């Protein structure tokens, strides 16, 4: 479980997150949704410690992450996997080296065992035989899969995904969404996905938090979101022509 308590964050005097409190449950896919510029990414980065909140606290189970020092945070970070919007694979390393890096740095496993683990993770994301390729040789969907493989290589307890299907076609998006959902349930981890893709919301959104202008605008499930009485949320959810027609039906 990850809990944000009264998180506030400003940049150059501009408040980006305003008193956000939310709890993300273990074993289900928690979605943070909202318009571009609403503060979703800042919230996600604050949760993982890339941004320090001006006030408030982030709890990982019973540990107050915000109050911890570098060394204590490092211990928690080994339990964190993160998938960035652009994949954030190291350009100068092959797929195998990218996935193996956390193993190299934080385990004393023999090389053969590490390779086996890399192959397992690649198999898990259905991307066999890509070990020797460089990120520049991969398609958008493949990059996301490698990023997922790297994120799960150390068996994380917490998985963060920043717009995991941005820039992907609808079919590949569904594949990536389902993969994250499967992994979440298989390993019973706390997964937080940052997205503005309504397909993702309807496919895998078990708990949804809507962020509007830096504040928590709404919270609920994918079944509840279609009937929510929140104008800003409705404008967001039913923005596309297809969603409007679906609502009319």
Contact criterion met (CB below 8 Å) for 210 and 216:
yes
**x/- string (CB under 8 A) for other proteins, residues 178-197?**
--------------------
The least distance separating other proteins from the CB of residue 104, rounded to whole angstroms, comes to: 6
Q: Does the protein bind other proteins through residue 246 (CB under 8 A)?
A: no
> Which 8-state DSSP code applies to residue 66?
G
Indicate if the alpha-carbon torsion angle 196, 202, 204, 208 is positive or negative: positive
Rounded CA gap, 112 and 248, in Å? Answer: 57
Q: Considering the complex, state which of residue 16 and residue 208 has its C-beta at the smaller distance from other proteins.
A: 16
Rounded CA gap, 172 and 83, in Å? Answer: 16
The least distance separating other proteins from the CB of residue 84, rounded to whole angstroms, comes to: 5
3-state secondary structure of 18: strand
Q: Does the protein bind other proteins through residue 91 (CB under 8 A)?
A: yes
Helical axes 140-152 vs 95-106, angle rounded to 10°? 20
- Number of residues in contact with other proteins, rule: CB under 8 A? 24
Within residues 128-147, the interface with other proteins by CB under 8 A covers none
Q: Does the protein bind other proteins through residue 82 (CB under 8 A)?
A: yes
Q: Does the protein bind other proteins through residue 74 (CB under 8 A)?
A: yes
Given the rule CB under 8 A, which of 10-18, 70-78, 109-117, 235-243 is the region that contacts other proteins? 70-78
The least distance separating other proteins from the CB of residue 167, rounded to whole angstroms, comes to: 13
For the purposes of burial, counting CB atoms within 10 Å of the CB of 244, is it exposed (0-12), middle (13-18) or buried (19 or more)? exposed
By CB under 8 A, name the one of 6, 50, 52, 242 that touches other proteins. Answer: 50
> Which 8-state DSSP code applies to residue 51?
S
The least distance separating other proteins from the CB of residue 176, rounded to whole angstroms, comes to: 17
Contact criterion met (CB below 8 Å) for 234 and 226:
no
Kindly list the residues in this chain that would bind other proteins in the complex (CB under 8 A).
Answer: 45, 48, 50, 73-75, 77-78, 80, 82, 84-86, 88-92, 101-102, 104-106, 160
């Amino acid at each position: 479980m990850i809990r944000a308590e009264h998180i506030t964050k400003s940049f150059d005097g501009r408040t980006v997150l305003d008193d956000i409190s939310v709890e993300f449950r273990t074993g289900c896919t928690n979605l943070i949704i909202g318009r571009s510029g609403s503060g979703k990414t800042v919230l996600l980065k604050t949760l993982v410690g890339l941004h320090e909140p001006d006030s408030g606290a982030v709890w990982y189970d019973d540990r107050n992450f915000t109050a911890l020092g570098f060394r204590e945070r490092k211990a928690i970070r080994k339990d964190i996997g993160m998938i960035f919007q652009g994949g954030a694979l190291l350009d100068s390393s092959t797929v195998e080296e990218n996935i193996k890096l956390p193993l190299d740095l934080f385990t004393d496993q023999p090389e053969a065992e590490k390779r086996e683990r890399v192959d397992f993770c690649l198999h898990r994301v259905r991307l066999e035989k890509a070990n020797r390729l460089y990120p520049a040789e991969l398609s958008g969907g493949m990059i996301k899969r490698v990023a997922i493989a790297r994120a799960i290589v150390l068996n994380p307890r917490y998985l963060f995904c920043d717009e995991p299907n941005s820039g992907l076609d609808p079919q590949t998006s569904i594949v990536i969404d389902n993969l994250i959902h499967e992994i979440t349930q298989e390993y019973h981890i706390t997964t937080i996905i940052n997205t503005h893709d309504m397909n993702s919301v309807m496919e895998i959104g078990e708990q949804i938090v809507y962020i509007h202008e830096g504040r928590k605008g709404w919270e609920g499930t994918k079944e509840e979101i279609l009937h929510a009485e929140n104008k800003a949320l409705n404008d967001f959810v039913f923005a596309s022509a297809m969603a409007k027609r679906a609502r009319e039906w």
